[in-house]
Structure formats: C-alpha cells, structure tokens
Amino acid sequence: MNVSRAADIYREIQQTICQTLEEADGTGKFTKDAWEKEIGTGLTCVMQNGSIIEKAGVNFSHVHGDFNDKMANLLGENAQSFAATGISSIIHSGNPFVPTIHMNVRFFSLDNGSAWFGGGIDLTPSYINPEEAGWFHMIMKTICDKYDSSWYPEWKTQADDYFYLPHRKETRGIGGIFFDRIQASEGADFEKMLNLTSDLANAFPQIYSRLMKDNGHKSFTTAQKKWQKIRRGRYVEFNLIHDRGTKFGLESDGNIESIFVSLPSEVEWVYQYQPEPDSPEAKTQELLKKGIDWTK
C-alpha cells in the first residue's frame, strides 16, 4: 500500500524535524502525544515556551475512513473510502523578528483509484525582510527545480492565491509554494512526489533553524510585540475562516487539540489599527500582496 509507505517515511521525518528544532532552540522540548481514534492514528508533537520557539506543533497522521458527502463536496470526487497521511507543522516564535512558518506534506488516496500529493511551505514574518524572503524563495525554487522547472513559478502563484485574506485584501505573509492534487497513484510519479515532499519536509527544520539563528537574539519593544500580536490575529482569521486543512479536520472530527495547535499563543485585535506612515510596520503591510518575485 502506497499510503503505508508514505506514512512510514513521513513518520520518520517527523522525528528528525523535532530533533533539529530542539537542538536549534536549545531549551524547548517536544511533548509527544500519540492519539488513536476511529479515523486512524497520529502523533502530535508540541513545544511550548522554548527559548525562541513559543509554540510549535508538528503533527503526523495516518487516517482512513468512509468517504462522506462533505468530503465529496470539498474534493469533487466520488468514492467509498479514503486513506491519507501527512505531516503538518506551524511554528510561532515569541520574537517578532522570527517569522511564523508553516509546512505541510500529504498523500491522499481514494478507493476509486485516484490518489494525489499536496503540500508546501510558506513564511509569515511580522516584519518582512526582502533579503530573507529572497533566500527562502530560492530554497523553494531549488527543491522544485530538481524535479520540474515549471513547478516553482506555478506553485509560488498558487501560494499567493491560497494564503490570501480576501476580507483584508492582503496576503498572509510572503508566501512560498503551495500545491495540491498532484495525481500520483503509483510508479515513477509516486516516487517522484514522495521524494519531493520528503525534501521539503527535511528542508523545513533547517530553514527555521537558520531563521532562529539570524533573528532569535534580536531585542524588541512592547510596540513591536503588539504589532506581532495583531499580525497573528490575521493568521488566526486565515486558519479559522479559510484554511482547507482546518476545515477538513473539523469536518472529519479530527483531534481538536492537534488541529488548533496551529494557533499562536498571544493574539490581539485592535479596531482600525493603522501603522505609522513609513514605519517598518507600514512597509511590511505594503508588501503583503500577490505577485512579488522575491527571487530577484
């Protein structure tokens, strides 16, 4: 079974992610909660209150079940049953200069013969540093180009479109790559996508370790912390209103603590908050738009 093979590989990578992040943080440790429900099994790894990482969730799951009407609507497929596996992770730092990061790789298989990979990595800084954004996007491009040079531009655009808050008319952050429904039920297609998603998942803790090393020591003011909390409000809005993964988790009666571990700790909503003109906050706000080529 391909789902089991992907699950075995993802399960192992989850361990590597946690170990690398623990080493980079220095203080924080992951608690590991194995869960077992009718829908399947999973391992939720959570770090809270590390020295740089405020909250990190690294979820692995391997699930299966009956295909229901809600999934049919969401996926536009007809089937009797599904099986899926994936790693999903979000890391929030208490330091406003360390971006929030999100990574997800997943393989989804239906008993009608349809099977696909999805995933991506995207970055949400409270303060956008264009040089850092370029460095991050170059890593995404390099991983994609190894398999297909048409993918990075396509998936970069998809990230811009997906990580977008229409009600705010702004992107969630500087994007990254986002792909879904890459059909790969077996053979070379399957191996290629399993390798690509493994490359992404393995790069993820390396990227975050570098972001922590570069920014984790920077001091910040109360006003900068407040700005981070306001930006986190947008993150919560995205996750609760738009994110398909969250919706799917809620629809399929997933483990609620594992789903909501993605939410940042301290968040703030201020009525009609406007950053000072020409401030670093205002500059970040201006860059929260689609179509910026960060690699240039």
In the complex, least distance from residue 265 CB atom to its own copies, rounded to whole angstroms: 6
Q: Which of 173, 115, 184 is nearest to 147 (CA)?
A: 184
In the complex, least distance from residue 238 CB atom to its own copies, rounded to whole angstroms: 10
259-274 burial code (b ≥16 CB/10 A, e <16): bebbbbeebeeeeeee
**Which stretch in 21-29, 73-81, 185-193, 268-276 sits in contact with its own copies by CB under 8 A?**
268-276
Q: Which of residues 204-243 bind its own copies (CB under 8 A)?
A: 229, 233, 236-237, 240-241
Nearer to its own copies by Cβ, of 49 and 149: the residue is 49
Q: Is 289 in the site for its own copies (CB under 8 A)?
A: no
Q: Which of residues 49-108 bind its own copies (CB under 8 A)?
A: 55, 57
Q: Which of residues 150-179 bind its own copies (CB under 8 A)?
A: 167-168
Is 167 in the active site? no
Q: Is 42 in the site for its own copies (CB under 8 A)?
A: no
91-124 burial code (b ≥16 CB/10 A, e <16): bbbbbbbbbbbbbbbbbbbbeeebbbbbbbbbbb
How many residues form the binding site for its own copies (CB under 8 A)? 29
Catalytic: which of 62, 64, 92, 102? 102
Nearer to its own copies by Cβ, of 205 and 249: the residue is 249
Burial of 177 (C-beta count, 10 Å sphere; 0-12/13-18/19+): buried
Q: Is 186 in the site for its own copies (CB under 8 A)?
A: no
∠76-77-81 over CA atoms, to 5°?
140
Asked if 127 contacts 92 with a C-beta cutoff of 8 angstroms, the reply is no
Q: Which of 138, 195, 269, 289 binds its own copies (CB under 8 A)?
A: 269
In the complex, least distance from residue 179 CB atom to its own copies, rounded to whole angstroms: 26
Strands in 81-93's sheet, in edge-to-edge order, are 31-37, 40-48, 53-66, 81-93, 100-110, 115-124, 175-183
DSSP per position, 129-157: -HHHHHHHHHHHHHHHHTT-TTHHHHHHH
Q: Which of 15, 20, 41, 48 binds its own copies (CB under 8 A)?
A: 48
Could you give the residue numbers annotated as active site?
A: 102
Q: Which chain residues interact with its own copies by CB under 8 A?
A: 33, 46, 48, 55, 57, 167-168, 229, 233, 236-237, 240-241, 250, 256-257, 259-261, 263-272
